[in-house]
Amino acid sequence: MRIRRLTPAACVAVVATAVWVGGFNLASAAGEEGRASSNPLSGNKEAEGAGQTTYRANCALCHGMRADGRGRGLPNSADLRKFKRGYTKFVQAVKEGYKRMPAWGGMGALTDQQVAEIGAYLETLSRRNANWVDPEDRSEAEPSGGIVLAVLRMPEFKAPERGIILATTTTEPKEYQVHLGHLLTSWSDTPGEVGLVTILEQEATIAREHAGYAVLDLEDLANIQLHTRHVRHAVDPTAERSGQGPGLGYGVTKAAAGIIQHMEYARDASDASASAKLHAEHVLTAARNIQFWAGKTLDKAGQVIGGASPVASAFYAEEIVERIDWILLGRDANGDGTITWEDGEGGLAQIKEHLSYID
């Protein structure tokens, strides 16, 4: 179904036609400016302004400040001005992720309200053939050639058939599986006793959010310094002398060290499987990359907070954003269009990927 930009007057005629052909009510989907949309916040000026702020902090690195797909992240990010899959598909992609794009709905990274606000903002940038109206039949196949939201996503861990802990068996887990469980399921000293991989992802996501806030206005030194402190708190709370910040109190640095320790325990266990021994090296390399990037982040944060000039602080703030993205998604260090587990490339996404290969 082709959706045109509607004037308020045209909406009346369209509504009558829509009801006649199948009952899809475009009137409830049209914003104040007549844009056809299934987003309840479409056309809401306050929502558009809030969405712009959230978008620039979380999405602009890859999709670009103008949502044209020309950000500084991985290449081939979608031009969101041309998004045409409907509002529900947009929400699904943001909350669940798409390919290697992180699932921004996880861990409280973005609320439903914020996702709707981002959508409302993106509608203001829409090109002629963009479509934010949900299809009448949501079960029908997606149209060919539709533009997807992004090219970045961290692979989700899928438990192998012979899982670390099986609720249906009374067999005691093997030694190497116990240590894998500390990575993936639970570890005693983390907040909520979550796994080490989970706490690393949570802290890195918080750091990325505040790094994004720091670069919203590169001429506002006080804002850069404030949110750089917040980044430092999430990366290593012991490095933040104030002891205050949005982090969970564990830190990326400590989580990465824990992953290395327990992955080595699993690899060296007498009952370790061949796949555990093989992929342990991949996980360990990526975890050491994270340690290195976290250290560089703390170095730059120290310079910003320690009194670097406004120009230097703005430059360092952008570098911090880049390094935290490497921590979460890995880095295409050799420019070949792919990210592997290797030295200088692998990050959290690659850790999760290679853990999923272990049986």
Q: Is residue 150 part of a domain?
A: no
- Of 123, 140, 159, the one marking the end of a domain is 123
Same domain? 226 vs 320:
yes
145 has pLDDT over 70:
no
Of residues 101 and 191, which shows the higher confidence score? 191
Indicate the residue type of 309. Answer: S
Q: Is residue 155 part of a domain?
A: no
Same domain? 208 vs 316:
yes
- Of 101, 123, 145, the one marking the end of a domain is 123
189 has pLDDT over 80:
yes
Q: What is the pLDDT of residue 100?
A: 63
Q: Is the dihedral of CA 214, 217, 219, 223 positive or negative?
A: negative
Of residues 216 and 136, which shows the higher confidence score? 216
Report yes or no on whether pTM surpasses 0.85: no
Same domain? 114 vs 183:
no
DSSP 27: G
Of residues 89 and 11, which shows the higher confidence score? 89
Classify each residue of 103-129 as buried b or exposed e, where b means 16 or more C-beta atoms within 10 Å of its C-beta.
bbbbeebbeeebbbbbbbbbbbbbeee
Q: Is residue 117 part of a domain?
A: yes
- Of 123, 155, 183, the one marking the end of a domain is 123
Of residues 200 and 131, which shows the higher confidence score? 200
Q: Is residue 156 part of a domain?
A: no
Q: How confident is the model at residue 75 (pLDDT cuts 50, 70, 90)?
A: low
Q: Is residue 52 part of a domain?
A: yes
Q: Residue 147: how many CA atoms within 13 Å on its side-chain side?
A: 22
Residue 118 sits in a domain whose CATH number is 1.10.760.10
Q: Is residue 13 part of a domain?
A: no
Average pLDDT over residues 162-189: 78
Contact assessment for residue 62 and residue 150, using Cβ atoms and an 8 Å cutoff: yes
DSSP 30: B
Q: Is residue 144 part of a domain?
A: no
Average pLDDT over residues 49-56: 84
Same domain? 118 vs 185:
no
Same domain? 186 vs 327:
yes
CA separation, residue 187 to residues 50, 54, 178, 320, 327 (Å): 37, 32, 10, 28, 21
Same domain? 191 vs 326:
yes
Same domain? 88 vs 187:
no
Of residues 83 and 267, which shows the higher confidence score? 267
Q: Nearest to residue 276, comparing CAs of 342, 357, 341?
A: 357
Q: What is the pLDDT of residue 140?
A: 44
Could you give the residue ranges of the DSSP H alpha helices within 26-72?
45-58, 60-63
- Most confident listed range (76-90, 147-161, 270-284): 270-284
What value does the mean pLDDT of the chain take? Answer: 81
- Most confident listed range (3-7, 72-76, 200-204): 200-204
Contact assessment for residue 251 and residue 319, using Cβ atoms and an 8 Å cutoff: no
Q: Is residue 154 part of a domain?
A: no
Q: What is the pLDDT of residue 29?
A: 45
Contact assessment for residue 331 and residue 339, using Cβ atoms and an 8 Å cutoff: yes
Average pLDDT over residues 63-69: 82
Domain count, the chain: 2
Q: Structure tokens of 288?
A: 């050491």
285 has pLDDT over 80:
yes
Same domain? 289 vs 194:
yes
What's the domain range around 73? 36-123
Same domain? 96 vs 181:
no
What is the tens place of the pLDDT at every residue in 208-261? 999 999 999 999 999 999 999 999 999 999 999 888 899 999 999 999 999 999
295 has pLDDT over 60:
yes
Same domain? 98 vs 179:
no
Q: What is the pLDDT of residue 72?
A: 65
